[in-house]
Amino acid sequence: MVGTPTNGRARLAFSVVNGGQELCLTSTPTSIAGSDYGGIEFTKEDVEALLNEKLKRKDRFNLKEKCDNMVEYIKKLKQCIKWFQELEYSYLLEQKKLQDELESSEIKFSEMEMIVKKKEEELNSIVVELRKNNAFLQEKFTREESDKLAAVESLTKEKEARLIMERSQASAFEELARAQRELSSANQKISSLNEMYKRLQDYITSLQQYNGKLHTELSTAEDDLKRVEKEKAAMVEDLGMIKGELALSKASQDEAVKQKDAMMNEVTCLRREIQQVRDDRDRQLSLVQNLSDEVEKCRESAGKYCEELNEMKEKTNELEATCSSQSIELRTLQNHLAAAENKLQVSDLTAMETMHEFEDQKRLVRELQQRLADAENKLMEGEKLRKKLHNTILELKGNIRVFCRVRPLLPDERSSPEGNFISYPSSVESLGRGIDLVQNGQRHSFSYDKVFAPEATQEDVFVEISQLVQSALDGYKVCIFAYGQTGSGKTYTMMGRPGLLKEKGLIPRSLEQIFQTRQSLQLQGWKYEMQVSMLEIYNETIYDLLSTNRTAPDVLRSENGSPIKPYAIKHDASGNTQVSDLTVVDVHSAREVSFLLEQASRSRSVGKTQMNEQSSRSHFVFTLKISGINESTDQQVQGILNLIDLAGSERLSKSGSTGDRLKETQAINRSLSSLSDVIFALAKKKEHVPFRNSKLTYLLQPCLGGDSKTLMFVNISPDSSSASESLCSLRFAARVNACEIGTPRRLTNTQS
C-alpha cells in the first residue's frame, strides 16, 4: 500500500530543488535575521534531545494531530539544519582564511629558507677562503722554519770555524812566543812580515767596516723584529710560535755580536802583541822564514772565512728580505682577518635575526595548523550532525535517498573535442550535493543527498553508506540499488574489481563490515544467523545464480516429464519477500560469501555491445537475511540487506544490438520503464502503483512502497556523447529522490 502524503509543501520543496528552475543557488547562505529561525542557537544537548524526541499523541488514530506534530517537529529540524548550514559556512570561511594565512606563512618561510641558504653559502665560501689562507700561511711558516734551521746550522758551522781559528791563533801565539825568543835569526823576514802586517791591517779595517754594517743591519733587523713582534701580537695563537723562533734568532744574533766583540778585543790584543813583535823583531827574524809558510796557510783559511762571511751576509740579506715580505703579508692577512671577522659578526647577527624570524614563523605556522585542525574537527562534527539530522528527516518523511556517482573518463574518451559538460557547484548549500549538466547550451541543475566526483574512491563511497548497512544488523530492511546507462560504472560500484583490495565494491565491503560488527556484538550477548541468496532477472525470467543448473526453470522438466514451476515472487503480510525454490545458503564468514559471489559472477549473463565490452545483460539481486537474538534481554531482530545491480539502459540505435542482444535490450528497457512508471506513480501519490508490470518492480515492491530504508546510486558517464542518457538518468534520480515511501520500521520482538 502507498501511504498518504504527510506534508505536501515539503515534497514540493524537493521537486523544486531537483528541477533546478525556481531555486537560485548562491555562494553565500541566506541570512536568517528576518526569518523564523533568527537568533536561535543549538547546543549538542539540544540536538540530541531533538533527535531523541518522541512524538506525543493522545489518540493513536488522530492523523491530524499526528500531522501537526510531524510538521512542528520537521520545522524544528529545519531550524536546526539551517543553523548548522550557517555554522558550516562560517567554518568554511574561517578554514579558507586559515589556509590563506598558512600559504602566506609558507611563502615567507620559503623566502627565509632561501635567505638562510644564501647566508650559509657566503659563510661557507668565507670559511673556505680562510682555510686556504691558513694552509698558505702554514706552508710559509714551514718554509721559514726550514730557512731558520738552515741559518742555525750555518751559524753553528761558523762557530766551529771560529773555534778552529781561535785554536790556530793560539798555536800561532805559541809559535810567536817561540819566535820572539828567536827574532835574532829572523831579520831577513821582517819586510815580509811588514807587508803581512799591512795586509792584516787592511783585513782588520774591512772587518771593522763589515762589523759596522752588521751593527746597522742588526739595528734595522731589531726594529723590523720589534715591528713584526707588534704585528704578530695581533695574530692568532698559531703565529706565536713564529714570534718565539724570531726571538731565538735575535738571541743567536746577539750572541754573534758578542762573539764579534770578543774578536775585536782579540784584535786589540794582537795589535799589542804586534807592537811587542816590533820590539822583538830582531829576535824573531830567524823565525819569520818558518812562519811564512804558516802565514800562507792562515791566508788561505782567512780567504775561506771571508767567503763564508760573504755567504752569511747574503743569507742575512735574504732573511731580511723574507722578514720584510712576511711582515707585509702579515699585515695583509691581518686586514683580511679583520674583514672576515667583521663579515662573520654581521653574518652571525643576520643569521640570528633570520633564526628568530624563522622560529616566529614556525610558531605561527604551528598555531595556524592547530587552528586549522580544530576548525576541521568542528567541521567534521558539524557534518556528522548534519548527516544525522538529514537522515532523520528523510526517515521521518520516508523519502528514498539518492547518491550520484560520476565515473572517470576512459583513455579513449579523453581525446573528445568537446569540453566537459558536467560541473559541481561550490556554494555552501550545494557543496558535495549538487551537480550541473549542460546540454545544447542549457544548464540543468540537480541536487541529491550526495554527489561523488570522478576522483572519489570506493572507500569514500562506502563511508557514506556504512551507517545504512549497519541498520540491517539493527533489524531494518535495507535496499541499495545502482541505476544508470550501460558503461556508467554500476557493476564497478557494487562489485568492484576482483583481485584488487583497494577497489572492492559496496557488496564485499558491506559484508566485511557486517561480520566484523557481528563479532563485536557477541560481547553484548547477541547471536546472529545469516542466509544468502542470489538471483538475476534475465529477459523477464528469474535465474538462481547459486544453483548448479543454469537452464531456465520454465523449460525444465522433472524425471517423469512433468514441467517444473518457474520461480515465483511472494510477499507476506509483514512485508517480507520470498522467491520459491530459490537456493538459500547459511553463511558464517565474509570469505564464504566472497566465494559465493565469485560463483554467481561467473554464472551471470554478460555480453558485448558497442557501448561496453562486458555489459551486464540482467538485473543482479543479492539478499542477506539476518536473524539476531540477545539471550540476556530476550530481544530478537530480523534484518534484510538487498544489494541490487541493475542492467544498464541503452538506446538501440547507439548500442547496435541485433538478434539475442536486441531481445535482451528490449527486455531491459521494458523493466526499467516499468520502474520509472512505479516511481512516477509514487511521486504523484496515485492509488494504484503498477508493481506487477515487471518482475523487477514486483521484487522491489517492499523496498519502494513499504517500510524499508532505500538508497539508489545513479551512475553517469562523463563522456560528452552520453550527455542525453546522463540527463535522463539525473531526471529519473530526481523523481526517485522526491518519492515518499513511508517511515522505516524496525523488525523486533521479544522471545516468548
Nearest Cα to Cα of residue 451 among 426, 431, 476, 475 = 431
Q: Give the C-alpha distances (Å, rounded to integers) separating 508 from 318, 503, 594, 712.
A: 96, 10, 7, 18
Q: In this structure, are residues 85 and 28 in contact, taking their beta carbons and an 8 Å threshold?
A: no
Residues 6+ apart with CB under 8 A from 122: 347
484 marked as part of a ligand binding site: yes
The three-state (H, E, C) secondary structure of 690-727, written as one string: CHHHCHHHHHCHHHHHCCCEEEEEEEECCCHHHHHHHH
- Give the helix, strand, coil percentages of the chain, each rounded to 5: 60, 15, 25
Q: Is 627 annotated among the ligand-binding residues?
A: no
* Beta carbons of 624 and 511 less than 8 angstroms apart: yes
> Per the annotation, does 169 bind a ligand?
no
Q: Is 685 annotated as a binding residue?
A: no
Work out the angle at residue 162's Cα, subtended by the Cα atoms of residues 157 and 167, and round it to the nearest 5 degrees: 125
State yes or no: 519 annotated in a binding site.
no
Strands of the sheet with 442-447, listed across from one edge: 422-423, 434-439, 442-447
Q: Round to the nearest angstrom and report the end-to-end CA distance of the chain.
A: 30
Distance CA 584, CA 624 (A): 10
Cβ within 8 Å of residue 407, ≥6 positions away: 454, 488, 489, 492, 715, 716, 717, 718
Distance of alpha carbon 688 from alpha carbon 711, whole angstroms: 23
CA 499 – CA 9 distance, rounded (Å): 49
Q: Is 583 annotated as a binding residue?
A: no
To the question of whether residue 4 is assigned a binding role by annotation, the answer is no
- Residues 165 and 266: beta-carbon distance below 8 Å: no
Instruction: Say how far apart CA 400 and CA 703 lie, in whole Å.
Output: 9
Phi, psi of 542 (to 5 degrees): -90, 135
How far is it, in rounded angstroms, from Cα 29 to Cα 31?
Answer: 6
> Cα separation of 165 and 581, whole Å?
140
Mutual orientation of helices 44-51 and 63-181 as an angle, nearest 10°? 140
Beta bridge partners of 509: none
Bridge-partner residues for 571, per DSSP?
577
Q: E strands of 590-674, at which residues? A: 606-607, 615-616, 619-630, 635-645
Q: Per DSSP, what are the bridge partners of residue 45?
A: none
Q: If you count DSSP H runs as helices and E runs as strands, how many of each does the chain have, helices first?
A: 15, 17
Is the separation of the CB atoms in 688 and 725 below 8 Å? Answer: no
The string of DSSP codes covering 461-486 is HHHHHHHHHHHHHTT-EEEEEEEEBT
Task: Report residue 447 CA to chain centroid gap.
Answer: 35
Going from the C-alpha of 588 to that of each of 53, 583, 628, 631, 747, the distances in angstroms are 37, 16, 13, 19, 22
List 630's β-bridge partners, or say none: 526, 635
The H-or-E segment that residue 586 falls in is strand 585-587
Question: Is 487 labelled a binding residue?
Answer: yes
Q: How far apart are CA 472 and CA 638, in angstroms?
A: 8
**Which residues line the annotated binding site for ATP?**
484-491
Q: Residues comprising the binding site?
A: 484-491
